[in-house]
Amino acid sequence: MKKIIVLLFLGMFVFSCSSRKVTVKKSIPSKPKTEHVVKGTEYYEVEVVENEVENAPFESITINSTEEYLEIFGVIAQEEMRLYRIPASITLAQGILESNSGRGRLSVEANNHFGIKCHDWTGATINHDDDALQECFRKYNNAKYSYRDHSLFLTNRQRYSKLFQLDIEDYKGWAMELKAAGYATDRKYPDKLISLIERYKLYKLDREVLGVKEPMANEKNTDNSNKYVVSKGDTLYSISKKYNLTVNELQTLNGLNGNEINIGQELYVSPTSKN
């Protein structure tokens, strides 16, 4: 009798083991957050900056001059302009000014090219002396994420909304409105941006994105006989001779105190109502 009971017990145990089901949870990788960016009637899905940075290694770039900076980041600024309608000229001028052409501490150690502080940032950070000692700034693993975050920073904050009511080619208006909206405390901030844009002809990058054909220098002079566009190798003396003026007359027409002129600068070569 005992043997029968033992056999029955063993049979029940084996049956329960063979019929037991094991459930395994299959892990599904989470989809990175994206946001819709509108350009005309087209939609772009752009990955959010902080998600892009999470698993990427830190990459640093050595930049030796402003010209080299423009070669590296000019294309990136133009792409941001296509996606977010922020003039590439403004973005690059801010990048040059805020990062010292990629050679400042924030840009070298944190890939932060626009001096954007932490605010609601949940990614990596760096402390740096600015308006106050050891303020918190955002840190990116790649400088391109700094450019994307700059675009998001301007488009997602209400205080910068007036920027997008301006003509996208009006870089002077953009420079002044950035200061008015509180981007920088330096009262000369707009002048510095405008000076950089005109010195390096950054407005040409805007026109490339917009598909605006750039006229030749001699075409510009023909269209407006009162002005001359400074070309490489020009001096006040050579321009004055070309238009039968003295250097003093040329300086007076243009309100110049010295002999310094820049390539791309427009000079009046005859009296007008403006001068």
Residue by residue, DSSP assigns 59-116 as ------SHHHHHHHHHHHHHHHHHHH---HHHHHHHHHHHHTTTTSHHHHHH--SS--
- Spatial contact of 83 and 39, defined as CB atoms under 8 Å apart: yes
Residue 264, both tokens: 């791309």
pTM (two decimals)? 0.62
Which segments of the chain have a pLDDT < 50? Answer: 6, 13-48, 51, 53, 217-223
Give pLDDT, residue 197.
Answer: 95
Give pLDDT, residue 3.
Answer: 53
Give pLDDT, residue 132.
Answer: 86
Q: What domains sit in the chain, N to C, each tagged with a CATH number? A: 34-210 (1.10.530.10), 217-268 (3.10.350.10)
Tell me the C-alpha distance between 144 and 91, whole Å: 12
Give pLDDT, residue 244.
Answer: 84
Give pLDDT, residue 23.
Answer: 38
